[in-house]
């Protein structure tokens, strides 16, 4: 028997998705799709719930998955001008993109699936993550243990500031105690497409806590998204670490 999905749950997920995108100014494509989706929100929510009852739920949206390649680092072409010379009348043509950035290009429905999945199972996963990990931490109410409010994640820039401040504080404390300190700062490039992620291992851990998760159409769809996106990147010769 499938786990039921209510209009209230989908509406809450859309609100959280919309708030999350507000803090990300790079994905203009998704912003535009969310704005369009919102114009017929009630009808789209009904359609989303009806899709859960389909023979192959959300397959038609998964077939529309794609990705965008955007420049992350550009190597400027030598102009021959002095280093202290500035002009806006000599356009530079032929800059080389030394590092691309890959962004998923999904229908709003697939982003909603991921959001609902996090609302249902994210708090359990978040509790398993060490406190020393600051990125992508959910906003969990201390009293209810649920994701409260409009947003899903704690703002990244605030988390980064907290991480940096605590690192400096720990360093100062060690120095005051006459200890030697070395600070190493590693930047993991293209983390989301380089990390070796084992979805099956995660699923086994979730089944122990949520025995009915395999009957959850949202979880089934999310797993399909994960597998299909990985295959999509592989067919386009985009590097991806397989588990």
Check residue 82 and give its pLDDT: 61
Tokens for 79, please give them.
């102009």
Position 28 pLDDT exceeds 80:
yes
**Structure confidence by residue, pLDDT tens digits, 96-121:** 776 777 888 999 999 999 999 999 99
Check residue 196 and give its pLDDT: 79
**How many C-beta atoms surround the C-beta of residue 156 within 10 A?**
14
Check residue 159 and give its pLDDT: 92
Check residue 183 and give its pLDDT: 87
Question: Given pLDDT bands bounded at 50, 70 and 90, which one contains residue 235?
Answer: confident
CA angle in degrees (0–180, nearest 5) for 90-95-100: 145
Q: What does the chain come to in residues? A: 243
Q: What are phi and psi of 81, to 5 degrees?
A: -80, 160
Specify which residues 71 forms β-bridges with. Answer: 100
* Integer Cα distance of 13 and 194 in angstroms: 28
**Structure confidence by residue, pLDDT tens digits, 142-194:** 888 888 888 899 988 899 999 999 999 999 999 999 999 998 888 777 777 77
Picking from 102, 80, 107, the residue whose alpha carbon sits closest to that of residue 92 is 80
Higher local confidence (pLDDT), 60 or 101: 60
Cβ-Cβ contacts under 8 Å for 104 (sequence gap 6 or more): 65, 67, 229
Cβ-Cβ contacts under 8 Å for 149 (sequence gap 6 or more): 139
**How many C-beta atoms surround the C-beta of residue 15 within 10 A?**
15
Question: Given pLDDT bands bounded at 50, 70 and 90, which one contains residue 78?
Answer: low
Helix (H) or strand (E) holding 171: helix 156-176
* Integer Cα distance of 2 and 110 in angstroms: 19
* Integer Cα distance of 221 and 1 in angstroms: 16
Mean pLDDT calculated for residue range 74-78:
68
* Integer Cα distance of 186 and 33 in angstroms: 35
Tokens for 66, please give them.
């794609």
* Integer Cα distance of 221 and 227 in angstroms: 10
Q: How far is CA 198 from CA 10, 135, 195, 219, 223, in A?
A: 27, 19, 9, 15, 11
Measured distance between the N- and C-terminal CA atoms of the chain, rounded to whole angstroms: 30
Q: How far is CA 194 from CA 35, 106, 150, 209, 216, in A?
A: 31, 20, 30, 28, 28
Higher local confidence (pLDDT), 193 or 231: 231
């Amino acid at each position: 028997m499938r786990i039921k999905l209510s209009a209230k749950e989908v509406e809450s997920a859309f609100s959280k998705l919309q708030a999350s995108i507000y803090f990300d100014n790079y994905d203009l494509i998704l912003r535009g799709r969310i704005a369009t989706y919102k114009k017929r929100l009630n009808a789209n929510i009904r359609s989303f719930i009806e899709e859960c009852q389909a023979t192959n739920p959300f397959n038609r949206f998964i077939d529309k998955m794609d990705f965008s390649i955007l420049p992350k680092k550009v190597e400027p072409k030598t102009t021959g001008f002095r280093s202290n010379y500035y002009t806006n009348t000599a356009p530079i043509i032929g800059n080389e993109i030394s590092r691309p950035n890959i962004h998923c290009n999904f229908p709003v429905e697939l982003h909603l699936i991921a959001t609902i999945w996090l609302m249902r199972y994210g708090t359990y996963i978040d509790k398993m993550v060490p406190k020393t990990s600051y990125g992508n931490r959910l906003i969990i109410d201390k009293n209810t243990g649920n994701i409260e409010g409009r947003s899903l994640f704690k703002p990244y820039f605030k988390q980064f500031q907290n991480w940096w401040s605590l690192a400096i504080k720990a360093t100062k404390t060690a120095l005051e105690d006459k200890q030697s300190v070395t600070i190493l700062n590693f930047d993991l490039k293209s983390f989301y497409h380089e990390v070796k992620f084992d979805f099956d291992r995660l699923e086994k851990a979730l089944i122990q806590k949520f025995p009915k998760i395999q009957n959850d159409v949202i979880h089934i769809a999310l797993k399909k998204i994960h597998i299909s996106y990985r295959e999509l990147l592989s067919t386009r010769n985009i590097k991806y670490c397989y588990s």
